[in-house]
């Protein structure tokens, strides 16, 4: 199985769990969304692009939404506080065996995760802090990060051993990257998790 991009991972998970409904927070140019293979797809983005289903922020969407989803892809505003809200709101609207995928959880340098985005080149933002904070506080979730495409964090209901709390600095992330993100290579992901 060749999983190289976030789209490959999302389509693999959709097939694996038989997902029938998909929500994407942050459509961008739609390059991922248009290639996601799911019957019922919804996208949310507050900026004019091509064809988002809901022209609004994720916070606004979750206030009016009544639908539950099997797979939710979080790739909107890449700031810690916003991604924390996006994950917690997504958990409220996730079907029983549903999965959340969060993009850009594994920044490869300190520069590309600095807030705010300076408008040049690759940028992950500091959304990794939202993910690691939940690894430190939510033992009712199973969380790991697949080491591809800037890190795709996967969240399911389940259990995990909590990390010891520590300062969410880039230096600490860099020293504890594998443990903090529960970083797995693609073949480990396929062998251990599915």
Ligand X SMILES: C[S@@+](CC[C@H](N)C(=O)[O-])C[C@H]1O[C@@H](n2cnc3c(N)ncnc32)[C@H](O)[C@@H]1O
Residues that bind ligand X (CB under 6 A): 6, 24-28, 31-32, 44-47, 49, 57-58, 75-77, 82
Q: Give the nearest distance from C-beta 25 to ligand X in angstroms.
A: 5
Closer residue to ligand X, CB minimum distance, 58 or 147? 58
Closer residue to ligand X, CB minimum distance, 45 or 80? 45
- The torsion of the CA quartet 43, 47, 49, 52, rounded to 10 degrees, works out to 20
Query: What are residue 155's DSSP bridge partners?
Result: 100, 143
Closer residue to ligand X, CB minimum distance, 58 or 145? 58
Closer residue to ligand X, CB minimum distance, 55 or 136? 55
Q: Give the nearest distance from C-beta 131 to ligand X in angstroms.
A: 16
Q: Give the nearest distance from C-beta 178 to ligand X in angstroms.
A: 25
Q: Give the nearest distance from C-beta 82 to ligand X in angstroms.
A: 6
Q: Cα–Cα distance between 117 and 120 in angstroms, integer? A: 8
Residues 152/9, Cβ–Cβ less than 8 Å: yes
DSSP assignment of 2-39 equals ---SHHHHHHHHHHHHT--EEEEE--TTSTTGGG---S
């Amino acid at each position: 199985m060749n999983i190289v991009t976030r789209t490959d991972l999302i389509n693999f998970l959709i097939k694996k769990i038989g997902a029938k409904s998909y929500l994407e927070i942050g459509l961008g140019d739609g390059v991922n969304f248009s290639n996601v293979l799911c019957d019922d797809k919804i996208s949310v983005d507050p900026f004019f692009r091509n064809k988002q289903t809901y022209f609004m922020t994720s916070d606004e969407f979750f206030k009016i939404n009544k639908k539950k989803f099997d797979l939710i892809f979080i790739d909107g505003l890449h700031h810690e506080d916003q991604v924390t809200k996006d994950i917690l709101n997504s958990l409220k609207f996730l079907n029983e065996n549903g999965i959340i995928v969060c993009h850009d959880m594994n920044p490869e340098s300190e520069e590309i995760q600095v807030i705010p985005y300076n408008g040049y080149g690759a940028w992950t933002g500091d959304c990794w802090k939202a993910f690691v904070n939940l690894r430190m506080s939510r033992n009712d979730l199973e969380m790991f990060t697949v080491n591809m495409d800037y890190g795709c964090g996967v969240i399911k209901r389940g259990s995990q051993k909590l990390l010891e709390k520590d300062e969410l600095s880039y230096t600490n992330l860099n020293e504890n990257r594998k443990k903090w993100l529960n970083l797995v290579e693609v073949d480990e992901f396929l062998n251990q998790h599915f």
